[in-house]
Structure 1
Amino acid sequence: MLKPRERILSTAMVLFHRQGYNNTGINQVIDEAHVSKASFYQHFKSKDDLCIEFLNKRYDYWVAELEKFTSEAETVQEKILKSFDFLMDMNKREDFRGCSFLNILSEIPADKEEIYKVIRYHKNKLRECFNEDIQNDMVSAHVYLLFESSILTSQLYRSNELIEKSKIIVKEVLSNSL
């Protein structure tokens, strides 16, 4: 059996992703993780601290899955296009739940600066990955924005249609610039 901290985090991974930040209460996490309130607060000072840990773990998971999915790409263009295929795969696996970071961002007030910092940090890391691969700021920004908007619109419409269209646009943009 997992240790209390691991059970709390494992439970939060499911609940925050599935239900969101605001719809997940500390008491639900405590109940479903089978820990005491004292044990929860021994490991996490607050729900915000748990959320930050969730975002860090979610990023690690998501990046590992993306890297595995794109690992056999032989060119930068193929890798970028496969990253859009990855979004479609994640939609299938996670029932169009979208981006945990953007979902939480839409729920939290502006005064949750520590959570904002974590979200910005991880989104910047994703931008840097595109920058490293593409090595053209304008093209990289274009691809990044299409990537992010593909996540949002596919969640909104519960469809991969706009991801497919984004792939066509990205293929054309990359063909003209790489």
Structure 2
Amino acid sequence: MSRPRERIVSTAMVLFHQQGYNSTGINQIIEEAGVSKASFYQHFKSKDDLCIEFFNKRFDYWVSELENFISDAQTMEEKFMKSFDFLIYMNEKEDFRGCSFLNIMSEIPVDKTEIHHVIRDHKGKLRDCFNKDLKNDILSAHIYLLFESSILTSQLYRSNELIEKSKLILKDLLQSSTLK
């Protein structure tokens, strides 16, 4: 059996992603992780601290999956097209659950500044990657917004249709830019 901290984090990874932040209580996490309340608080001073740990682990997982998915791309255009294919893959794998960061952001009040900071930091890292690859602030912002909206709309409609249409827009954007 794994260590209590690992069980807590592992349990939170599933529950926060599937149920969200507000619908997941500390008592449920404690029960499903098979730890005592004292053990929980020994490792995390609050549910917010556990949520931040969840975000860090989720981000690492998601980036690792994305990098693996696009690793055989031969061109920058193919890399971006495969990035959108990755969204389809994740929708199928996770039953259109969408973005854990945006889902939780919609649940929490603005005064949870530390959680909001972590969300912005991780989203900023994704934006930075797009900008680093494209070296064109306007184009990378456009593609980033298309990428994020593809996640949201596919979750809303439980369909990959708009991701497929976004790929057509992406192809036009990339072909009309200086990136070939």
With the length of structure 2 as denominator, give the TM-score of the two structures: 0.98
Instruction: Find the aligned partners of 2:81 and 2:47 in 1 and give their Cα distance.
Output: 37
- SS, match of residue 111 in structure 2: coil
- Of all paired residues, the percent bearing the same amino acid is 76
Shift of 1:79: 0.3
Q: Could you give the per-residue CA deviations for residues 9-59 of structure 1, whole angstroms, max 9, x where no partner exists? A: 000000000000000000000000000000000000000000000000000
Instruction: Find the aligned partners of 1:59 and 1:40 in 2 and give their Cα distance.
Output: 22
Q: Could you give the per-residue CA deviations for residues 95-141 of structure 1, whole angstroms, max 9, x where no partner exists? A: 00000000000000000000000000000000001001111110000
- Aligned twin of 2:127: 127
Instruction: Find the aligned partners of 2:117 and 2:46 in 1 and give their Cα distance.
Output: 17
- Aligned twin of 1:164: 164
Instruction: Find the aligned partners of 1:142 and 1:170 in 2 and give their Cα distance.
Output: 9
Q: Counterparts in 2 of 1:41-52, with a 5 A limit?
A: 41-52=41-52
- SS, match of residue 96 in structure 2: coil
- Aligned twin of 1:16: 16
Instruction: Find the aligned partners of 1:117 and 1:26 in 2 and give their Cα distance.
Output: 22
Please list every run of 5 or more consecutive structure 2 residues that lacks an aligned counterpart in the other structure.
none
The alignment status of 1:175 with 2:178, answered yes or no, reads no
Q: Counterparts in 2 of 1:64-75, with a 5 A limit?
A: 64-75=64-75
After TM superposition, what 4+ stretches of structure 1 lie above 2 angstroms from structure 2?
A: none
With the length of structure 1 as denominator, give the TM-score of the two structures: 1.00
Partner amino acid, structure 2, of 1:156: L
- Aligned twin of 1:40: 40
Aligned length: 178
Instruction: Find the aligned partners of 1:69 and 1:132 in 2 and give their Cα distance.
Output: 19
- SS, match of residue 107 in structure 1: coil
Q: Counterparts in 2 of 1:27-176, with a 5 A limit?
A: 27-176=27-176
Instruction: Find the aligned partners of 1:164 and 1:142 in 2 and give their Cα distance.
Output: 16
Instruction: Find the aligned partners of 1:164 and 1:136 in 2 and give their Cα distance.
Output: 24
Instruction: Find the aligned partners of 2:48 and 2:152 in 1 and give their Cα distance.
Output: 24
